[in-house]
Amino acid sequence: MIEVVAGVIPLKPMDEYTKRWAITEEGWQDKTGISAMQAYGLAVEYMRSLWNPQRVNWVQCTWIYL
């Protein structure tokens, strides 16, 4: 799971800025057929798009293997 969260108040993510990319173990592909590295690239691009202090005060990207 790759998750990007952001918000105004530190450590209180806002739902409208939260996105998740689920990656299955089989071939490291998610439901849409993209690879883990492609999903990570999408997450990083999304995270960079949120780096704007006029919208949010913090952005976090987390990768968790469940």
How many contiguous H segments (helices) and E segments (strands) does the chain have? 1, 3
Q: What is the pTM for the complete model shown?
A: 0.81
Q: Are 3 and 20 in contact (CB under 8 A)?
A: yes
pLDDT, position 26: 63
pLDDT digits (tens, 9 = 90+) for 1-52: 899 999 999 999 999 999 998 876 665 555 556 677 888 899 999 999 999 9
Q: Are 30 and 22 in contact (CB under 8 A)?
A: yes
pLDDT, position 20: 93
Q: Where are the domains of the chain?
A: 2-63
pLDDT, position 33: 64
Most distant CA pair in the chain: distance in Å?
40
Residue 65 — very low, low, confident or very high, per pLDDT cuts 50/70/90?
confident
